[in-house]
Each structure stands twice: as C-alpha cells, then as structure tokens.
Chains A and B, each alone.
Chain A
Amino acid sequence: MAKKQAMPKSAPGTHVSTKDIVNKKIAYTWWEPEVQYSWSVGPAMSRFLEELKNGKIVGRKCRKCRRVIVPPRMFCEHCYGPTDEWVYLKDTGSVETYSISYLDADARRIKEPILVGVVSIDGASPKHGFMHYFGGMKPEELHIGMKVKAVWKPKEEREGSIRDIIYFEPVKKGGRKK
C-alpha cells in the first residue's frame, strides 16, 4: 500500500514580519469607520443606573425561582417569566474572583497594575454580582472570599454609571456595623 500523504500537505500562506511593514515592503489600506451607538438601556438598567446615582445597588426578585438578581433584569432567564419586584441590596459583598492586570484595554503594558474582579453582592442570591475594580489595598492582600465594600464618588459627581462606584475596598475590621 502506498504511503499516505501527511496532512496538511503544505502550509500555504506568506508570512509578513514587522520588519516588512516598517520597511514599507507591504501595500496596505487604512480605514477608520465612524461607528457610534446610543443603546437604549430599558427599564431594568435605567433604574439600576438611577439608583447608583443615589448611592444604592438595586436588584430584581424572581419569586418563582426564589432568586434575587443583580444586575437586575425585567425577565428571568431561568423560568422565562417576568421578574416581580425591586430589592435594595447592600453595597458590600465578597470577592468571587479577581485578576491583577498589567495590560490596558489595547493590550499596552501599564506600570501600576489594575485590580479587577467579580464581587458577589450581599443581599442578592449567591454568586450574583458584577465586575468592578478593587482599591484601598495592596495587590497581595486581595483574595477570593474577601469581604469588600463600595467606595462611591461624591454625590454631585455621580452620573448614573457603573463608575459611580470608584472601586470596592476591604471591609475594615472592627468597623462600625450598620
């Protein structure tokens, strides 16, 4: 029996190195599209953002699934019915997971690392939360399960954005209980 041709039998394509580009050996075109959007945020997110302005985190309750959902939505993806009522949650929570990033959004390196992660919000169902920054601590202090609290922008600077929370900081031991 004839020996089988190994596949892929070749590797068609021409590699272009950075040098080729810098030395202008390659022809290229350039285009920057004008793409702008203004998404309607709908009733659930409108209320959520409004409440952030007030310094509060709000969720929605699905009675059928016995679930308190944050970020809130008007329908529950589990039972596919409408959610039932608004629930105020605490502005504390625990670190579900985190990363210490040395890259910005365009993959450029940055000196001061960004502490980022998911916070499960107190008062919502377990594992329900959102992504945010951490601060007020050294990177090595950050750990999964850590209790954290939102640090809000001053009231007059809030604009109805997730950034109305500056970051989450560790809950201070022996701090006042409310």
Chain B
Amino acid sequence: MREVAVIGGGMTLFRRRLLETGKELSYLATKMAMEEAGIEKQDIDMVVLGSAPDAFDGIHIKGDNLVDGCAAAGKPYVRVFNGGGTGVFAPIAGWWHVASGVADVALVVCEEKMGSCYPHPQTAFRHIWDPILDRPLNPNLVWLFAMEMNRYMTAHDIKKEDIALVAVKNKRNAVGHPCAQLADPNITVEDVLNSEMMAWPVQRLDISPPSDGASALIYCSKDKARQFTDEPVWVAGTGWTIDSTMWTNRDLYFPQYVANAAKMAYKMAGISNPFKEIDIAEPYDPFDYKELHHMEGLLLCDKGQAPILTREGVTQRDGDLPVCPSGGLLGVGNPIAATMGQKVCELYWQLTGKAGKRQVPGDPRVGVGQAWGDIMQMGTVIVLRK
C-alpha cells in the first residue's frame, strides 16, 4: 500500500442559493485546491467526483455534466455516490486511486446544487424512500431523523437541552469560517429550544440548512509529496460500511455501521484508543443529535456518553477532544457531498495549522472525519495524520 498525502484543499461559499452553476462552483473549489497545492490541470492523473442525488441539480448523469468544472475533461474520471456519506466516501475513493499506484496525483471534487430543485430540495428527497412500503405514506425526510432522534433520546434518557448544546457549539464555531451560512456568535440553548417545531423532536435550529456549494481536495503519492509541500498530511485510515436497506428492522439508537467503518479505519491507522489518540473529530452533524450519535459510533465514547462530554465542554474547540471545530454542517451549511469541506479539508487545514480563527490549540496530529448517508445506513470514515 502506497502512502498518500493531502497537499491541497478548497471550498466555495455555502449558501441556500448561489448564482454559480454546479460546473462553476466545482471550478472555484478546484482552483483553490490547485493553488494551495501549487499544481496545474496537467499534473492531475485522475479525478473523482462526489455528488449526491441528480434530482437536486435537475440533471440526469450529472457527473458527466460537471466534467469540465472538475478539471477532468479528457481524463479518467469517476463519480461515487452513497447519499450523505459521499462527502467522505469520495475522498476515500481518491485515496485508493493513489494508494493503488494507478494515479500519482488525484483530485477529488464534491459538488451540490440544491437550490435548483423546486419547490424545495426536500421534494427531491421524496424519491429516496421505498416505492412500495414508504412512498404511499407521503413521507418527509425529517421524519426519519425525528424517529431516530426519538429512539436515541429514549434509549439513553437524554434531554433536548443537552442535544441543543451541539447546535449552539457548532453555530458559534462557524463564526471563524469564511464560507459559513449559519454562523451565530450569540445563539443560546433557549433559541434552539424555542425554534419552530418541524417534526417532534426535531426543531428548526436542530437542522442544518440545504445549501449550494463545492469543495475539493488534492492527493499525491509519497514519492511526489515533497515536490509540493514541506508538511504533508497523510491518509492514515479509511473505512466504509453499509447496513441493510430495511431500516425498520433494526434498533436505531446506535449506528453499528459507523462503528464497523470506524473499526476498519482505526485498524488501518493503528489506533487502539480513539478517545486518547485522536486530537480532532469531525463527525457528520446534519442534525445536532447526529454529532452525538456519531461520536458514539466513532467509538470516541461509550454509548450514551456523548451528551455528557458535550455538557462538560470536552468537545469545545479548546476542550480535550474538539468536535466539529469547523462549525460543522449546522454552522457552515449542508451542501450534501460538498461537506467534504468541513469533514476532510478542515482536518487537513487544522493539522497543518492553517485553520486561522478556527485553529484548535496544541498542535493537533491526528484527526478523524466521518459522514453518514443513504437511509440511515451508510458510515464513511477517514483518519488523517501529520
């Protein structure tokens, strides 16, 4: 297995609607990553695209429509996709391109243009449900997470106040992020608890917003890394796992699939005590309870302990285990696949000390990023190390 270095990252502004098309957003993110890495299009051997449902952009086979924006015209190019898990699955796919020896330099682009979908991006989510069992019930996507959140809260007797702390932390963390959509330095737990009820127990401020945006990441092989950078960050571990389609046939209180993916990544990275050995975590936080749920799935704490760590301040930027120092999806925005910007690019910037106002103190060396997708069944995990 060849060692793989991250040498550049980039991302665009995240907003409910951006003027730029999907191609143009991909271009902007890619260009920033190429500038950071100091490379040109001809240096790139292969390109991976991550993008979630075609229904958002309103283009079938949208991967092919985005080719030019991804600096991939005339190059080997592939799109990978597993719903929300794509934001970390695409960089995992980029990793195997270089680790296998097939590519020396690989570009990963993640794009999402949710604003195109009428009347609401939620409409596209109608089609993610089982056509026989679920669609006749006219379901709303939020139901899924409300049901999972309820199960999680009930299993561990967790209070909503403790969950709201996550939204407060992440929206405050996002203040230092130039691309952030919902940064708020003054938000309080009361604001979250008093926000509009959507599908109990989920309220408006428990949710990350739909967004337009793109992000990009550049990898290169170990022998080439020194050409581009003095401080490479290495991909130390990757893991991905899918659970059964039948989400009504399992207990939703614990994401076993995330745990399996985490074990796979930790084994590869030689991590035996994740809480001790990991300096920064970027678990997927489209909803505030998901950060907690995923911390447990990532084996950063015991089942039911994540709310306690959060309450004690352990997960704050200056805590023992900073969680979502980027501001996460709750603060920076949720252009599904493009959240690679918070989950993987952020780790790279944190480990190289480039995170600016968001920088975690104390020279972090190991970070874990995670995403979650499909119908509450996909866990994707990546570990970066300095």
User: Is A–B contact present in the complex under a CB 8 A cutoff?
Assistant: yes
A171 to B287, CA, bound (A): 33
A163 touches B123 (CB 8 A): no
Q: A16-B18, A101-B142 are in contact. Are A5 and B136 (CB under 8 A)?
A: no
A12 touches B28 (CB 8 A): yes
B249 touches A69 (CB 8 A): yes
Instruction: Please give the distance in Å from A112's CB to the nearest CB on chain B.
Output: 13
Residues of A within 8 Å of B28, CB to CB, are 12-13
Q: Please count the residue pairs between chain A and chain B whose beta carbons lie under 8 angstroms apart in the complex.
A: 177
A16 to B212, CA, bound (A): 10
B140 touches A71 (CB 8 A): no
Q: A15-B13, A99-B146, A105-B138 are in contact. Are A41 and B178 (CB under 8 A)?
A: no
- B11 CB-CB contact with A under 8 Å: yes
Segment 97-135 of B: residues with Cβ below 8 Å from A: 115, 119-120, 122-123, 126, 131-134
Q: A12-B28, A49-B132 are in contact. Are A116 and B250 (CB under 8 A)?
A: no
A17 to B17, CA, bound (A): 7
Q: A13-B13, A13-B28 are in contact. Are A97 and B18 (CB under 8 A)?
A: no
A13 touches B356 (CB 8 A): no
Residues of A within 8 Å of B352, CB to CB, are 4
Partner of B150, one of A39, A69, A97, A130: A97
A101 to B198, CA, bound (A): 6
A16 to B114, CA, bound (A): 13
Instruction: Report the interface size for chain A: residues with CB under 8 A from the other chain.
Output: 54
Segment 6-62 of B: residues with Cβ below 8 Å from A: 9-15, 17-20, 25, 28-29, 32, 36, 58, 60
A105 touches B140 (CB 8 A): yes
A118 touches B147 (CB 8 A): yes
- B355 CB-CB contact with A under 8 Å: yes
A9 to B31, CA, bound (A): 12
A→B interface (CB under 8 Å) = 4-17, 21, 26, 31, 33, 37, 39, 41, 45, 49, 69, 71, 77, 96-107, 113, 116-118, 127-133, 139, 144, 161-163
Q: A101-B199, A107-B122 are in contact. List 9 more A-B contacts (CB 8 A).
A: A7-B354, A8-B32, A8-B345, A11-B179, A15-B13, A16-B15, A98-B147, A131-B143, A133-B137
